[in-house]
């Protein structure tokens, strides 16, 4: 597996919290996938076997495990800029028979995000010419967070670009 490539993306979303507004201001792409290394491989293989939906992508090629050194370096970078870790993002690229859009968390996503206290941003690239981004608290479909791109007063519609280092959006906080 190794480094991120082939259009795959996984990373962190950082920003600030002000009252009921979460302002996501920075996106830190994580590049090193250690999914195929021990002890991560055995742990992820177990979780995948139990919770992953069959797909055209074989199980050993699915899943992402961030390199701990890279992960903590990005979190330190986030904090040193006065921001907090709001959540993670990853992309879904392959449509499934029962889920053609792939713009919501899977059972596996929910299991992996459980009790994290983080938002999970799903970037659907099933139709790359029309990417879709949605946010969910701890990967739960019933806890979707509405996304407003730009400020609350100005709402440019140029979208989310997961390979760019930063972007701006504001989220309604869970009540």
What digits encode the pLDDT tens for the residues 10-66?
899 999 888 778 888 889 999 998 988 999 888 888 888 898 887 777 777 777 889
Q: Is the pLDDT of residue 6 over 70?
A: no
User: What are the chain's domains?
Assistant: 2-172 (3.40.140.10)
Summarize the confidence of residues 132-151 as an average pLDDT.
Answer: 86
| Of 76 and 95, the one with more pLDDT | 76
For the entire predicted model, the pTM comes to: 0.78
CB 112 within 8 A of CB 121: no
Q: Are 11 and 32 in contact (CB under 8 A)?
A: no
Question: What was the pLDDT predicted at 153?
Answer: 53
Cβ neighbours, 10 Å, residue 27: 21
Task: Show the tokens assigned to 122.
Answer: 């799903």
């Amino acid at each position: 597996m190794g480094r991120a490539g082939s259009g795959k993306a996984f990373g962190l979303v950082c920003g600030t919290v002000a009252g009921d507004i979460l302002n996501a201001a920075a996106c830190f792409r994580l590049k090193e996938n250690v999914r195929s290394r021990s002890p991560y491989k055995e742990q992820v293989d177990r979780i995948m076997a139990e919770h992953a939906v069959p797909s055209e992508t074989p199980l050993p090629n699915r899943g992402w495990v961030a390199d701990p050194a890279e992960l903590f370096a990005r979190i330190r970078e986030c904090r040193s800029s006065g921001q907090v870790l709001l959540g993670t993002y990853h992309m879904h690229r392959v449509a499934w028979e029962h889920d053609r859009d792939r713009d919501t968390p899977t059972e596996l996503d929910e299991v992996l995000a459980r009790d994290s206290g983080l938002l999970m941003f799903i970037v659907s690239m099933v139709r790359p010419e029309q990417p879709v981004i949605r946010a969910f608290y701890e990967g739960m479909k019933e806890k979707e967070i509405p996304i407003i791109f730009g400020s609350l007063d100005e709402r440019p519609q140029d979208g989310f670009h997961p390979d760019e280092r930063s972007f701006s959006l504001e989220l309604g906080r869970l009540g």
